[in-house]
Amino acid sequence: GAVVSQHPSRVICKSGTSVKIECRSLDFQATTMFWYRQFPKQSLMLMATSNEGSKATYEQGVEKDKFLINHASLTLSTLTVTSAHPEDSSFYICSSRIRGYNEQFFGPGTRLTVL
């Protein structure tokens, strides 16, 4: 199946710093990438949908100025958590979809801890 990678896998930062998370589709071109957030013992909640070359579409309640998404190529999308605070600590997972196919392929996730 298609492989999606995320980097870094784990990050610990101080409150107020910005953190960038990369999501790459390794062996296919992803026309759409999705960013999810998962709190402990909870399910995944979609944050935003990112289409290559266009602005991301954010879900209700997700601050676009805080969670900056860039989808500059068909294989790379980045999520930047700006001025991170402890409440942003979570597990962030990206997924990719190929145009015309319904199935999504998920990355291994990034554990963010803000002190």
Partner 1 sequence: KQEVTQIPAALSVPEGENLVLNCSFTDSAIYNLQWFRQDPGKGLTSLLLIQSSQREQTSGRLNASLDKSSGRSTLYIAASQPGDSATYLCAVPFGNQGGKLIFGQGTELSVKP
The binding site for partner 1 (CB under 8 A) comprises 1, 6, 32, 34, 42-46, 49, 91, 93, 95, 97, 102-109, 111
Residues 6 or more apart in contact with residue 59 via CB below 8 angstroms: 45, 46, 47, 48
Q: How far is the CB of 73 from partner 1 (least distance, A)?
A: 19
**Nearest to residue 35, comparing CAs of 19, 59, 17?**
59
| Choice between 9 and 18, CB closer to partner 1 | 9
| Choice between 18 and 103, CB closer to partner 1 | 103
| Choice between 32 and 80, CB closer to partner 1 | 32
Q: Are 113 and 14 in contact (CB under 8 A)?
A: no
Alpha-carbon distance of 22 to 42, in angstroms, equals 23
Q: How far is the CB of 54 from partner 1 (least distance, A)?
A: 14
